């Protein structure tokens, strides 16, 4: 590992000033579960690592906003999210996604913000954040701005975060009405490997089904079925599968991946899609709690 300087600023302004001064030579550290690996293998060779954990304005809290939305602090860990009662009931897919990230040890350190900023196409929380229309709040030299999660990831490792900016919170709007949600994934080895397919689904009472999936191309994708076919309890599996085939037309898994072949990933995407629609619809029918 190449030597680097380490700073642990106490204020957001100081962190932003360091990012401005060092530019691409600075890297932010939250839980470190992605960053340390990149530092060790030499993918990242920063001159400065800025530890976010000493910043007074950042925290790991999940706050309920007026109207029922949630604000998740930049230092909130996967364990906090998976165990949070409000997230478990109003954003079940996100709680389920956080609960399968890595191992217990990883989840105790890994942050939601780090998962989102790392911008891996296989990031497990991204599909549920897309389905839930999350918004990312960032701060930088020009102040604060908010970015819809669908406009966040450009491609693997690249986000729309501008130079000098850092993420301070992820917000979830209140669900618009009754719905069932679920996260499913396929992985070779739980706790030690990223997903070959990761997928979230929500089925709403008005028949609109939202599906988002990752590990199937350079960035996670959101698709929406407004025809009602997927949510229709009377629809056959064949008609649902035909609808999924149309919706998943943008899936383009890499043939160079060591994890799984494109054919396998595509087959699993459709299978998980079908399964997810069934589970989400069943949760809706059973009256999944709405906050
Ligand atoms: C053994 C193992 C298993 C794993 N399994 C999974 C898995 O199943 N699913 C999955 O999705 N991921 C998995 N991961 C990846 C990793 O744990 C997650 O991506 C984690 O959420 C990253 O969070 P972190 O706090 O550790 O981020 P860090 O490693 O601290 O940071 C990750 C990246 O985000 C940047 N960053 C962090 N916080 C901010 C911020 N506030 N603003 C701007 N940039 C920021 C950092 O500079 C860095 O580039 C695994 C990792 C390991 C080592």
Q: What is the pLDDT of residues 263-287, one digit of tens each?
A: 999 999 999 999 999 999 999 999 8
In this model, does residue 291 exceed pLDDT 60?
no
Q: What tokens were used for 178?
A: 């009754």
Looking at residue 289, what is its pLDDT?
A: 57
Contact 82, 115 (CB under 8 A): no
Looking at residue 176, what is its pLDDT?
A: 87
User: What percent of the chain lies above the pLDDT cut of 90?
Assistant: 89
Q: Whose CA is nearest to atom 27 of ligand 1?
A: 114
- Arithmetic mean of pLDDT, 126-140: 98
Looking at residue 184, what is its pLDDT?
A: 97
pTM: 0.96
In this model, does residue 192 exceed pLDDT 90?
no
Q: What is the pLDDT of residues 55-67, one digit of tens each?
A: 999 999 999 999 9
- Arithmetic mean of pLDDT, 192-219: 94
Looking at residue 257, what is its pLDDT?
A: 78
Q: What mean pLDDT value characterizes the chain?
A: 95
Q: Taking the CB of residue 114, how many other CB atoms lie within 10 A of it? A: 25
Q: How many angstroms separate the alpha carbon of residue 180 from the centre of ligand 1?
A: 27
Ligand 1 atom with the shortest distance to the CA of 27: 47
Looking at residue 288, what is its pLDDT?
A: 59
Looking at residue 187, what is its pLDDT?
A: 87
User: Cβ < 6 Å from ligand 1: which residues?
Assistant: 27-35, 37, 52, 74, 101-102, 106, 109-111, 113-115, 117-118, 123-124, 166-167, 192, 194
In this model, does residue 6 exceed pLDDT 90?
yes
User: What percent of the chain lies above the pLDDT cut of 70?
Assistant: 98
Q: Whose CA is nearest to atom 46 of ligand 1?
A: 28
**CB burial of residue 255 (10 Å; 0-12, 13-18, 19+):** exposed
In this model, does residue 251 exceed pLDDT 60?
yes
Name all domains of the chain by residue range, CATH numbers in brackets.
5-54 (3.30.43.10), 62-172 (3.30.465.10), 181-285 (3.30.390.50)
In this model, does residue 171 exceed pLDDT 80?
yes
Q: Whose CA is nearest to atom 1 of ligand 1?
A: 192
């Amino acid at each position: 590992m190449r030597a680097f300087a380490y700073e642990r600023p106490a204020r957001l302004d100081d962190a932003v000033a360091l990012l401005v001064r060092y530019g691409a030579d600075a890297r932010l550290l939250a839980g470190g579960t992605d960053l340390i690996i990149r530092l060790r293998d030499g993918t990242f060779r920063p001159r400065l690592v800025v530890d976010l954990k000493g910043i007074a304005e950042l925290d790991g809290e999940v706050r309920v906003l007026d109207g029922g939305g949630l604000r998740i602090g930049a230092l909130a860990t996967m364990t906090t999210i998976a165990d949070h009662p409000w997230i478990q009931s109003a954003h079940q897919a996100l709680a389920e996604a956080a609960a399968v990230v890595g191992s217990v040890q990883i989840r105790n350190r890994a942050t939601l913000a780090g998962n989102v900023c790392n911008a891996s196409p296989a990031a497990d929380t991204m599909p549920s954040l897309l389905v839930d229309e999350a918004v990312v709040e960032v701060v930088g030299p020009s102040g604060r701005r908010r970015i819809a999660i669908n406009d966040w990831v450009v491609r693997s490792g690249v986000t729309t975060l501008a130079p000098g900016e850092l993420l301070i919170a992820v917000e979830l709007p209140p669900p618009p009405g009754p719905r069932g949600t679920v996260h499913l994934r396929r992985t070779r080895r739980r706790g030690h490997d990223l997903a070959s397919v990761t997928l979230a689904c929500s089925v709403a009472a008005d028949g609109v089904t939202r599906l988002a999936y990752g590990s199937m191309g350079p960035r996670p994708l959101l698709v929406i079925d407004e025809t009602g076919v997927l949510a229709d309890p009377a629809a056959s599996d064949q008609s649902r599968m035909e609808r999924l085939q149309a919706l998943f037309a943008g899936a383009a898994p890499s043939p160079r991946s060591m994890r799984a072949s494109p054919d396998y990933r595509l087959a699993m995407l459709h299978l998980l899609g079908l399964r997810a629609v069934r589970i989400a619809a069943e949760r809706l029918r059973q009256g999944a709690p709405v906050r």
